[in-house]
Amino acid sequence: MDALTFLRADHESVLGMIESLERGRGTSETEIRNREHLATSLVIAASQHEAVEEQFFWPAVRKSLPEGDELADHGLEQEESGKQLLQQIEHSEAGSPEFEQALTDFLVAMREHIDYEQNQVWPRFAEVEPPEDMADLGDRMAAAKKKAPTRPHPKTPSGPGAQKTAGLAAAATDKLRDMAGGRKSDEPADPHTP
């Protein structure tokens, strides 16, 4: 599958979780517990997605486009802000004012980031990237997602080298913590791709 198809499927999955979280602001114990599980799924999906973009997509944008550095820097800046918010969500109690504020801020930030990627970066990238390179990039991102961190790591540098070393170490630790803490059950299924 090509890179943009892979990324679009991830975006649609994350947007679906966002819409469910926006609708599900109930206050009963069951509603809060369901909200916590869905927020954890969102944290996992967004963390994996951003790690894969940092490792593969943004470096490809830098290489392929004359304005690639500027586009990638802006995208990475948005992702860094998103990681900070994801970490606040992760460390706040579901239903608390801190949780709700971080979640609300993240939902706005994520929509802006997706809009930026899909409407400003992707069209330019698609114009210059050969189809065979786009397919190879998509395959590499899909494979890397299975090994990506499941938690935000805002202190991990966003460069591809750091993601391939520190990111993999963080991912291994995340997966052990997920298994030990029962968080593995909140891991979302891979999005459907055509």
Domain ranges of the chain: 3-186
Look up tokens 């499927």; give the residue. Answer: 9
Output 16 or 158, whichever has higher pLDDT: 16
The percentage of the chain sitting over the pLDDT mark of 70, rounded to a whole number, equals 79
Residue 58 and residue 153: Cα distance in Å, rounded?
Answer: 17
CATH 1.20.120 given to domain 3-186: yes
Confidence of residue 161 (pLDDT cuts 50, 70, 90): low
pLDDT digits over 95-104, tens only? 889 998 999 9
Residue 36 and residue 34: Cα distance in Å, rounded?
Answer: 5
Rg (C-alpha) for the chain, rounded Å, is 16
pLDDT digits over 28-74, tens only? 888 888 888 899 999 999 999 999 999 999 999 999 999 999 999 99
Output 129 or 18, whichever has higher pLDDT: 129
Model-level pTM? Answer: 0.83
Among 154, 182, 181, 184, residue whose Cα is nearest residue 167: 154
Among 32, 24, 29, 18, residue whose Cα is nearest residue 95: 32
Residue 163 and residue 44: Cα distance in Å, rounded?
Answer: 16
pLDDT for position 58: 97
Tokens of 18: 């966002």
Confidence of residue 172 (pLDDT cuts 50, 70, 90): low
Among 156, 2, 137, 152, residue whose Cα is nearest residue 58: 137
Look up tokens 């189809």; give the residue. Answer: 131
